[in-house]
């Protein structure tokens, strides 16, 4: 743990305590990052970002508009056609490896900035260093894997048939606020491995680590204009990026409603689109599950990151014969989950990201009670020393039915709905009775049952006797209203390349 007076950060900032902030944050006014340097936005508007632990303004962001998006896209296009296009795969790999080293060397500052901006416990972000740098190094390996195919020619004579692959061009990246430090790499990795360039629009509530990232990448040797960051409102800067006729591809992570807008916007120039959207994932607990593991596993499959994870297993289906025992144990476990200041070593859950998210989660807790679900633990906003932050207790509802709003709509907070089932067939039918298809899990010691669920759950990823582990070598994706397009794995870079069939007569 770095030796800094963290306790200052969970109190309202004063002239003195500002001096203890990471150096990147001491000047609280941030600009756009375009063409390798900070630049003001065209209209001079601003946007405030808050420290979720205190509810106090943390920094002022530039409110980018369509004019700024136009400028950033033009810069990204020039960089795509410029010296960056001459980089060999090994040189792109070298850039990615230098960036991974630079992020590793500066990771404490990244962790501090992310923790202050998003509210995630500092020790948790510090613990993600290996995961993030492994993802970047994985993409470094993929720079050498951009390959096409050759075929035996169907024609007589000196013909060769082949498929070449080429970078798609300028990629618009739009990310949410829940884990920007990692989610930005699911876009930058593909961009840099393939020789594309990008304009990233981070979320209004959590743009700081993206701005710091751009600066560190420049220092690590990334050519100017390859990665550009435009902060601002989704409805203005994000929408302008999604509609831009000179953007070739959009990689979007966010809500399903915004995903639908992105698809419509893509029609302007037939942009390629990759969407990672919302979820309401099922977590199925059979009566032979090892509850010592299944209870904390299912609980943390929702509570991690204070429930602000797209694939959270928020619908916990429990076989009726063990329902009472499970709910009792889940409730007892939930009371041991320490909610507290992001700076404290024993904090498991920090605050929610914003006042709006707090209102949304508290609203759903009320809806659950109004719908007749039984609130068995949690349900309250925290008071005392934490009253000015956006803290909510881990919350368990039992007696939920799959048609209640708390079982159908994404809450994006630490709220579990326990729903009983009798047979495997019923569990599957309930699990799939949702518009989403992001994740799912099963807990059982019976391999046959496990595989029946693995095959039957309609989702982009399924876990057995564990929850939420993502292997960058394998990747992940979604189906139904959770989106499409794979992130991670060896297929990831294909999304950043287009195919060109070539027939060549050598003489
Ligand atoms: P959101 O859709 O409101 O915002 C996401 C991003 O889109 C932000 O940068 C926002 O500024 C931008 N945006 C908003 N309106 C836009 C528009 N009209 N055009 C272009 N861009 C626009 O989502 P959110 O509330 O910030 O994030 C939470 C959502 O993200 C949840 O639904 C969650 O499940 C989802 N999410 C999904 C994944 C995944 O991998 N599937 C990961 C994290 C979060």
User: Per-residue confidence at 235, pLDDT binned at 50, 70, 90?
Assistant: very high
User: Is the distance from CB of 214 to CB of 44 less than 8 angstroms?
Assistant: no
Distance 238 CA to ligand 1 centre (A): 10
**Mean predicted confidence (pLDDT) in 187-202:** 98
Split into its structural domains, the chain has a count of 2
In a domain, 16, yes or no: no
Residues 464-505 pLDDT 10s: 999 999 988 899 999 999 999 999 998 999 999 999 999 999
In a domain, 228, yes or no: yes
226 and 305 fall within a common domain: no
173 and 294 fall within a common domain: no
How high is the mean pLDDT of the chain? 95
184 and 59 fall within a common domain: yes
pLDDT given for residue 262 in this prediction: 98
Residues 344-387 pLDDT 10s: 999 999 999 999 999 999 999 999 999 999 999 999 999 999 99
180 and 325 fall within a common domain: no
Closest-lying ligand 1 atom to the alpha carbon of residue 186: 40
**Mean predicted confidence (pLDDT) in 403-415:** 98
**What's the burial of 455, exposed, middle or buried (CB within 10 Å: 0-12/13-18/19+)?**
exposed
Pocket flag, ligand 1, residue 438 (CB < 6 Å):
yes
Instruction: Say whether pLDDT at 38 is over 80.
Output: yes
227 and 307 fall within a common domain: no
Instruction: Say whether pLDDT at 8 is over 90.
Output: no
Closest-lying ligand 1 atom to the alpha carbon of residue 256: 32
Distance 414 CA to ligand 1 centre (A): 18
User: Per-residue confidence at 1, pLDDT binned at 50, 70, 90?
Assistant: very low
Residues 141-189 pLDDT 10s: 999 999 999 999 889 999 999 999 999 999 999 999 999 999 999 999 9
176: domain CATH number is: 3.40.605.10
In a domain, 35, yes or no: yes
Q: Identify the sign of the CA torsion 40, 41, 43, 47.
A: negative
Distance 396 CA to ligand 1 centre (A): 26
> Which structural domain range is residue 394 located in?
282-470
461 and 495 fall within a common domain: no
Instruction: Say whether pLDDT at 238 is over 50.
Output: yes
In a domain, 431, yes or no: yes
227 and 251 fall within a common domain: yes
291: domain CATH number is: 3.40.309.10
Residue linked to tokens 């992020």:
103
Measured distance CA(54)–CA(10) in Å, rounded:
6
pLDDT given for residue 7 in this prediction: 56
pLDDT given for residue 4 in this prediction: 46
Closest-lying ligand 1 atom to the alpha carbon of residue 410: 32
In a domain, 17, yes or no: no
pLDDT given for residue 27 in this prediction: 83
pLDDT given for residue 21 in this prediction: 84
187 and 317 fall within a common domain: no
A 10 A CB-CB count for 129 gives 15
The pTM of the full predicted model, rounded to 2 decimals, is: 0.95
User: Per-residue confidence at 6, pLDDT binned at 50, 70, 90?
Assistant: low
**Mean predicted confidence (pLDDT) in 410-433:** 98
308 and 417 fall within a common domain: yes
DSSP letter at 20 equals: T
Residues 282-299 pLDDT 10s: 999 999 999 999 999 999
User: Is the distance from CB of 143 to CB of 93 less than 8 angstroms?
Assistant: yes
In a domain, 25, yes or no: no
pLDDT given for residue 423 in this prediction: 98
Closest-lying ligand 1 atom to the alpha carbon of residue 483: 41
Pocket flag, ligand 1, residue 205 (CB < 6 Å):
no
Phi, psi of 162, deg, nearest 5: -150, 165
In a domain, 475, yes or no: no
Q: Is 41 a catalytic residue?
A: no
289 and 347 fall within a common domain: yes
Q: Atom 22, ligand 1: which residue's CA is nearest?
A: 234
Q: Is 466 a catalytic residue?
A: no
In a domain, 7, yes or no: no
A 10 A CB-CB count for 24 gives 19
228 and 149 fall within a common domain: yes
91 and 200 fall within a common domain: yes
Residues 59-86 pLDDT 10s: 999 999 999 999 999 999 999 999 999 9
Q: Which of 109, 114, 276, 393 is catalytic?
A: 276
């Amino acid at each position: 743990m770095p030796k800094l007076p963290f306790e200052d950060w969970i109190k309202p900032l004063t002239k003195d305590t500002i001096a203890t902030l990471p150096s990147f944050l001491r000047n609280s006014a941030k600009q756009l990052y375009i063409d390798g340097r900070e630049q003001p936005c065209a209209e001079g508007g601003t946007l405030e970002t808050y420290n979720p632990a205190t509810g106090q303004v943390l920094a002022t962001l530039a409110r980018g508009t369509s004019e700024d998006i136009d400028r950033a896209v033009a810069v990204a296009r020039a960089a795509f056609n410029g010296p960056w296009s001459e980089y060999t795969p090994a040189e792109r790999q070298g850039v990615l490896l230098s960036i991974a080293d630079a992020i590793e060397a500066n990771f404490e500052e990244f962790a501090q900035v992310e923790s202050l901006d998003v509210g995630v416990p500092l020790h948790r972000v510090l613990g993600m260093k290996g995961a993030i740098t492994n993802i970047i190094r994985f993409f470094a390996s993929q720079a050498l894997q951009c390959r096409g195919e050759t075929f035996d020619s169907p024609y007589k004579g000196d013909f060769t048939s082949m498929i070449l692959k080429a970078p798609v061009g300028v990629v618009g990246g739009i990310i949410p606020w829940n884990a920007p430090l990692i989610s930005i790499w699911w876009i930058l990795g593909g961009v840099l491995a393939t020789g594309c360039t990008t304009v990233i629009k981070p979320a209004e509530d959590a743009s700081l680590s993206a701005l710091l990232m751009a600066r560190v990448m420049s220092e690590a040797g990334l050519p100017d204009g390859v990665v550009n960051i435009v902060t601002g409102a989704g409805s203005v800067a994000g929408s302008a990026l999604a509609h831009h006729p000179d953007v070739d591809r959009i990689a979007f992570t966010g809500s399903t409603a915004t995903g639908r807008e992105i698809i419509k916007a893509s029609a302007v120039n037939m942009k390629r689109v990759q969407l990672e959207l919302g979820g309401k994932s099922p977590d199925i607990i059979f009566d032979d599950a090892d509850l010592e593991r299944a209870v904390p596993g299912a609980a943390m499959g929702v509570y991690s990151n204070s429930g602000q994870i797209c694939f959270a297993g928020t619908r916990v289906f429990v076989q009726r014969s063990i329902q009472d025992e499970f709910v009792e144990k889940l409730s007892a476990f939930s009371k041991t989950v320490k909610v507290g200041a992001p700076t404290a070593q024993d904090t498991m859950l920090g605050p929610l990201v914003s006042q709006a998210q707090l209102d949304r989660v508290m609203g759903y807790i009320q809806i659950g009670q109004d719908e007749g679900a039984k609130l068995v633990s949690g349900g309250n906003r925290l008071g005392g020393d934490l009253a000015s932050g956006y803290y909510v207790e881990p919350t368990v509802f039992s007696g939920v039915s799959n048609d209640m709003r708390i079982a159908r709509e994404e809450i994006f907070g630490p709220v579990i709905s326990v729903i009983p089932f009798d047979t495997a067939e019923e569990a599957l039918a309930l699990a799939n009775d949702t518009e989403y298809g992001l994740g799912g899990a099963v807990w059982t010691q019976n391999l046959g049952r496990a595989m029946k669920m693995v095959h039957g759950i309609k989702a982009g990823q399924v876990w057995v006797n564990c929850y939420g582990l993502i292997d960058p070598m394998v990747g992940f994706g979604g189906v139904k209203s959770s989106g499409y397009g794979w992130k991670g794995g060896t297929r990831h870079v294909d999304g950043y390349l287009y195919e060109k069939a070539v027939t060549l007569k050598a003489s």
